[in-house]
Amino acid sequence: MAVLMTNTATRVGIIVLSFVWFASCREADGVHVLKLAHGLDRTHPVHISMEYMGKLVYERSGGRMKIDIYPSGQLGTERECIELVQIGSLAMTKVSSSVMEGFAPAFKVYSLPYLFRDENHRFKVLDGEIGQRLLTETERYRVRGLVYLDAGSRSFYTKDIPILVPDDLAGKKIRVQESTTSIRMIQALGGSATPIAWGELYTALQQGVVDGAENNPPSFHLSRHYEVCKYYSLNEHTAVPDVIIISTVVWNAMSKEEQELLQEAARDAEELQKKIWKEASEEALQKVQEAGVQISYPDRSIFAAKVAPMYEQYRNEPHVYELIQQIQKVK
C-alpha cells in the first residue's frame, strides 16, 4: 500500500509539473515564458493593455521573461480559462469579476447593480484597501489577482425595443455572464436571464435564442453585436471590473524578482488601460450610432430602485454583506 501511495503521489507530481511547464516554461535559451489567454478581440483596449504588459515584462527583464498571449477565446471560455489557471496548466488569464464570483464568492459584490456611485468612487474602492485585499484573498482558490482593468459600465442592448424602464424587460430573454448575481439582477428587473458564453452570443442573438444582452460600449462595438441589436440603452446598471489573475502554482514557482517585475508591469498596463478605455468608449458609441443604433439615456434611478432589495438578500452571506457596507462608506 505504501508503495502504491508513493507511486500515485509521484504520478500526481509529474502531472502538476507538466502543467506548470506548459503554462510557464523556460525555453532552451533560458527565457521564462508565461502563457496568458482571454476571450477578447485583438483590437480591444484590454488586449492592447496586456500586449503593453508583455512588452514591459520583456524589456525590463532584459529578454529573460516574456508573455505569450492567446486572445479571442483560443484556449476556452472565461470559466474554462480560470479552471486551467487553477490547476496550473495556464499561467494567466483576464476574466470578468462576474465570472470570478463562481470561484471566489467575495467577487460577487462587484456584480451588484448601482454599487458604485460614480467612476471616482469605483476607482477609490478598486485601488484602495478593499479592492487590493480581494485580489490576494483569491489565493485560497489557487489563483492570485494582479490588477483590475476598467470595463466601464454595462448597459442593455436589444433587438426589438429600447429598454427605457424596467417594465420593458418583461418577457425578454437577456444574455448574462455565468454569474448568480447577474441572473438575480435581471430577474429583479423583470427579465429572463440566460447565461451564454461570450463567443456564442452573436449567433444566439441572430437566431433569437436571446432578445438582447448587456455590456460596455467597446465590447458592444467590437463584437459587432450592433449588427443585430439596434437599441442601446445606457442605464449603466453595473460597473464590473475585469481582473488579471495568475496561477498560484506558477506564481509560487517564480523568483521574488520575477514576481515584482510582473506585478509592476501589470500595474503600469492598468494605468494605460484606464486612459485608452475612455477614448474607446466614446469612439464605440459614435461608431454604433453611425451604424444605425438608437442610443437612449434612461433614468438610472428607476432601475436602481427596482434592484435595491437585492442588497438585503446578502444578509445571510456576512462577508459579502460587510463588503457592501464597507464599499458604500468609501468617500
What pLDDT digit, counting tens, does each position of 269-282 carry? 999 999 999 999 99
- Assign 20 a pLDDT band (cuts: 50, 70, 90): very low
Check whether 1 has a pLDDT greater than 80: no
- Assign 25 a pLDDT band (cuts: 50, 70, 90): confident
CATH among 1.10.3720.10, 3.50.50.60, 3.40.190.170, 3.40.1190.10 for 154-239+282-329:
3.40.190.170
What pLDDT digit, counting tens, does each position of 118-143 carry? 999 999 999 999 999 999 999 999 99
Instruction: Give the N- to C-terminal CA distance of the chain in Å, as an integer.
Output: 61
**What pLDDT sits at residue 109?**
96
Architecture of domain 2-97+118-150+241-280: 3-Layer(aba) Sandwich (3.40)
- Assign 12 a pLDDT band (cuts: 50, 70, 90): very low
**What pLDDT sits at residue 178?**
87
The reply to whether 2-97+118-150+241-280 and 154-239+282-329 are identical in fold is yes
The percentage of residues in the chain with a pLDDT greater than 70, rounded to a whole number, is 92
pTM for the whole structure: 0.87
What pLDDT digit, counting tens, does each position of 223-255 carry? 999 999 999 999 999 999 999 999 999 999 999
Q: Which of 305, 324, 306, 304 minimizes the C-alpha distance to 314? A: 324
- Mean of pLDDT over the chain: 92
**pLDDT higher for 242 or 29?**
242
- Assign 5 a pLDDT band (cuts: 50, 70, 90): very low
Check whether 8 has a pLDDT greater than 60: no
Query: By mean pLDDT, which of 29-33, 183-187, 197-201, 233-237 is the weakest?
Result: 29-33
Count other C-beta atoms under 10 Å from residue 255's C-beta: 9
**What pLDDT sits at residue 28?**
52
**What pLDDT sits at residue 273?**
96
The bridge status of strand 154-158 relative to strand 143-149 is unpaired
What pLDDT digit, counting tens, does each position of 71-106 carry? 999 999 999 999 999 999 999 999 999 999 999 999
What pLDDT digit, counting tens, does each position of 156-191 carry? 999 999 999 999 999 999 999 989 999 999 999 999
**What pLDDT sits at residue 24?**
72
Domains of the chain: which residue ranges?
2-97+118-150+241-280, 154-239+282-329
